[in-house]
Amino acid sequence: MNTYKSSCFEGHAICELHLIMCPIPQRGSHVTWRDQYLCYIQVLTDLVDPATDMIILKHAKYTDGTSIGNIVPLHQLHSFISLIPWLGDMADVQFTKATSMHYSQTFLFNKYFEKTSIMPFTMLHIVSN
Amino acid sequence: MDEAIPHPPRIFIAGGTAIHLNYNPSHTRVSVDDVTTNFNIPDLHVVLSEFLLHDARERGEVYGVGGPNRRPSIECPLILPFDHLQLWYTVHLQETAFHNSSITLPAQTIHASPPGPGWSKGQQETVLVNVEGGSVWPESGLTGEYSFMI
């Protein structure tokens, strides 16, 4: 299994959260897994545009083009990340405020959204380069 | 056990982040098949069974994200030890300030909900997920040169 890690956020990955759940064990069954909350997430890969120094994100995909999804325990969530859809030269006409994140293929990381906890991650990128 | 106290606890702390789910789930009992359809996650069954296999082997590990290069087959799903799920459409995360851990930052609400009125494609918000044991920022510090080819 490949482990996707962000190149800009030490030991972390940027993911889209799709589902928060807790399985209900069947009556009388001896469940062999730890009782915990689980999430279904889709992974985003990031790279830095050298010209603008902005972090650009895209969905990680299987070879057949579908997005890579996975299960992680809820306790591995760290914080909210603000992304901005990359509209390109001309915005797609089907974008609305409710669907632009769904239809977009490329996103920009909004590093001005929250400076006290996320900025140190991005500073790490600057230091290591 | 007292019925009033939910298990697992709805509020807990992990890696410097406080995680809070509402006392009452958004849905108390939904079948895995219905969730697959409502949330449009065709590989839910497969990734859940892969997670359980992995969990049985390596308890307590921090789980990576990603997968094989080829999409897992959804033709013959494995049997899960459960049929129904409780669902939450929101989770609240709260951290302390990076430079002063005595300052608690405002809680952030993150949505993960299926298509509904006003949200024709549902809501899927973006989060930072810890995928490596021992990398609890900021304690992990600047641990060496870090580069990763994508």
Residue A41 clears pLDDT 90, i.e. is over it: yes
Confidence (pLDDT) at A64? 86
Closest approach of A71 to chain B, Cα-based (Å):
6
User: Which residues, in sequence order, are bridge partners of residue B21?
Assistant: none
User: What ipTM was predicted for this assembly?
Assistant: 0.85
Distance between CA atoms of residues B74 and A79, nearest Å? 31
Contact status, residue B75 vs residue B101, Cβ threshold 8 Å: no
Confidence (pLDDT) at A107? 93
Domain assignment of residue A66, yes or no: yes
Q: Across chain A, what does the average pLDDT equal? A: 82
Residue of B129, B130, B143 to mutate when probing chain A, most A C-beta within 10 A:
B129
Confidence (pLDDT) at B15? 80
What are the residue boundaries of the structural domains of chain B, listed by start?
Answer: 1-26+88-150, 31-84
Tokens of B113: 């909900």
Instruction: Give B32-65 pLDDT, tens digit per residue.
Output: 999 999 999 999 999 998 888 888 777 667 777 7
Q: Closest by alpha carbon to A7, among A69, A61, A66, A50? A: A50
Instruction: Give B94-143 pLDDT, tens digit per residue.
Output: 988 877 888 888 999 999 999 999 999 999 999 999 887 765 555 544 34
Residue A32 clears pLDDT 60, i.e. is over it: no
Positive or negative, the CA dihedral A31, A37, A43, A45 is: negative
Instruction: Give A10-28 pLDDT, tens digit per residue.
Output: 788 899 999 999 998 877 6
Distance between CA atoms of residues B110 and B106, nearest Å? 13
Domain assignment of residue A9, yes or no: no
Closest approach of B114 to chain A, Cα-based (Å):
8
In terms of CA atoms, which chain A residue is nearest residue B135? A11
Confidence (pLDDT) at B94? 94
What integer is the mean pLDDT of A95-106?
A: 88
Closest approach of B1 to chain A, Cα-based (Å):
15
Which residue in the set A1, A21, A82 is minimally distant from B66, CB to CB? A1
pTM: 0.85
User: Which residues, in sequence order, are bridge partners of residue B112?
Assistant: B124
Distance between CA atoms of residues B25 and A22, nearest Å? 9
CB atoms B69 and A21 under 8 Å = no
Q: How many domains does chain A have?
A: 1
Domain that holds residue A38: 14-128
- Does a cis peptide bond (omega within 30 degrees of 0) precede residue B8? yes
Instruction: Give A47-56 pLDDT, tens digit per residue.
Output: 888 888 888 9
Which residue in the set A15, A36, A121 is minimally distant from B127, CB to CB? A15
Interface of A with B in 6-65 (CB under 8 A): 6-7, 9-26, 29, 31-47, 60, 62-64
CB atoms A76 and B63 under 8 Å = yes
**DSSP letter (8 states) at residue A75:** G
Residue A1 clears pLDDT 50, i.e. is over it: no
Interface size between A and B, measured as CB pairs under 8 A: 273
Tokens of A61: 């995909």
